[in-house]
C-alpha cells in the first residue's frame, strides 16, 4: 500500500513538472496543458505508472518529429498543440483506464490507442516532407499535406511510430508476441484509417481533423478488442 501511494505521489509530481514544461516550451497552449494535466491524473489514478509513461513517450516523440525540419514544411501551422488536438489524441486512452477489464486487455488496448495516436502523428509530420503523395482512395497524385494523402516515407514513419509504442509496451507490460503484433499492426492500420476518413469526410467538411482522429483511434481499438 505504501509503495502504491509513493508511485502515485511521484506520478503526480511528474505530471505537474511536465505541465509547466509544456507551457514553457510551448508544446501545448494553456487549455491543452490543463486538459493534458487532467488526462495524466486520470491515468495515474486509474491506470498505472507505465501507462502514464507510455503516454509521455508519445508526447515527447511527437514533439521531436513535429519540429523536425520544421522550416521545410512551410504549411502555416501553429506548432503549439491546442486543447482540441490533446482531446482528439488523448481522450480514448483516458477512457480506457476507466472501464473494468482484466489487466492484459486494458494495457494492450491502452497501448493500441497510443500507438495509433503516434503512428498518425508521425505519418503526418514526416509524410508532409514527401514530394510524392497519393490519395488513399484512388492513388492519384495529390498535393502534400492534403487530407487522405499517403506516401512511402509517411507509411514508414507511421509504422515506426507504432513500433516505438509496441516495443515499449513489450517491456513495460511484459506482453507476449501476439499482443505485441496487435499493437504494432493495429496502431499502423489506424494511421491509414485516419487518411481514409480524411479523404472521404474531412475534405467534404463532414468531419474535422479532430473528429477524424477520435473515430480512427476508436475504430482501431474496436478491431484490437475483437482480437484479444
- β-bridge partners, 150: 134
Instruction: Tell me what pLDDT residue 8 has.
Output: 66
User: In a 3-state reduction of DSSP, which class is residue 28?
Assistant: strand
Instruction: Tell me what pLDDT residue 70 has.
Output: 64
- β-bridge partners, 142: 133
DSSP H helices, 78-151, are: 83-96, 103-127
Burial class of residue 134 in the structure, from the number of CB atoms within 10 Å of its CB (0-12 exposed, 13-18 middle, 19+ buried) = middle
Instruction: Tell me what pLDDT residue 2 has.
Output: 46
C-alpha cell belonging to residue 25: 516550451
pLDDT digit of tens for each residue in the chain (228 aa)? 444 566 666 677 767 777 777 766 676 777 777 888 888 888 888 888 888 889 888 888 888 877 766 665 555 455 666 777 788 888 898 899 888 888 888 999 999 999 999 999 998 888 788 788 888 888 888 887 788 888 899 899 999 999 999 999 999 998 889 999 999 999 999 999 999 998 889 888 888 888 999 999 999 999 999 998
Degrees, nearest 5: CA angle 98-102-105:
85
C-alpha cell belonging to residue 44: 495515474
203, 147 in Cβ contact below 8 A? yes
CA end-to-end span of the chain, whole Å? 31
C-alpha cell belonging to residue 86: 490533446
Q: Which residues make Cβ contacts (< 8 Å) with residue 88, sequence separation at least 6?
A: 209, 210, 211, 213, 214
Instruction: Tell me what pLDDT residue 49 has.
Output: 80
Q: Does the reported pTM lie above 0.75?
A: yes
CA distance 165 to 171: 10
Instruction: Tell me what pLDDT residue 5 has.
Output: 67
Residue-range domain boundaries for the chain? 50-227
CA distance 156 to 112: 18
The dihedrals phi and psi of 126, each to the nearest 5 degrees, come to: -95, -40
CA distance 101 to 116: 21
CA distance 73 to 145: 9
> In what order do the strands lie in the sheet containing 141-142?
141-142, 133-135, 149-150
Cα–Cα separations (whole angstroms), residue 188 to 20, 36, 155: 31, 24, 8
C-alpha cell belonging to residue 177: 508476441
Amino acid at each position: 500500500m505504501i509503495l502504491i501511494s509513493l508511485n502515485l505521489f511521484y506520478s503526480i509530481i511528474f505530471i505537474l513538472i511536465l505541465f509547466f514544461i509544456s507551457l514553457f516550451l510551448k508544446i501545448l497552449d494553456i487549455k491543452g496543458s490543463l486538459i493534458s494535466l487532467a488526462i495524466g491524473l486520470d491515468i495515474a489514478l486509474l491506470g498505472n505508472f507505465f501507462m502514464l509513461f507510455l503516454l509521455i513517450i508519445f508526447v515527447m516523440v511527437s514533439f521531436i518529429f513535429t519540429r523536425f525540419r520544421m522550416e521545410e514544411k512551410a504549411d502555416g501551422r501553429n506548432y503549439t498543440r491546442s486543447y482540441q488536438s490533446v482531446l482528439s489524441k488523448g481522450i480514448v486512452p483516458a477512457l480506457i483506464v476507466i472501464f473494468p477489464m482484466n489487466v492484459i486487455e486494458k494495457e494492450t488496448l491502452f497501448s493500441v490507442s497510443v500507438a495509433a495516436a503516434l503512428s498518425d502523428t508521425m505519418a503526418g509530420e514526416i509524410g508532409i516532407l514527401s514530394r510524392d503523395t497519393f490519395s488513399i482512395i484512388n492513388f492519384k497524385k495529390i498535393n502534400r499535406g492534403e487530407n487522405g494523402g499517403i506516401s512511402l516515407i509517411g507509411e514508414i514513419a507511421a509504422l515506426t511510430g507504432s513500433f516505438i509504442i509496441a516495443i515499449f509496451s513489450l517491456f513495460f507490460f511484459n506482453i507476449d508476441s501476439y499482443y505485441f503484433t496487435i499493437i504494432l499492426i493495429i496502431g499502423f492500420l489506424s494511421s491509414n484509417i485516419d487518411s481514409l476518413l480524411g479523404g472521404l469526410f474531412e475534405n467534404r467538411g463532414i468531419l474535422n481533423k479532430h473528429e477524424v482522429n477520435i473515430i480512427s483511434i476508436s475504430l482501431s481499438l474496436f478491431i484490437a478488442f475483437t482480437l484479444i
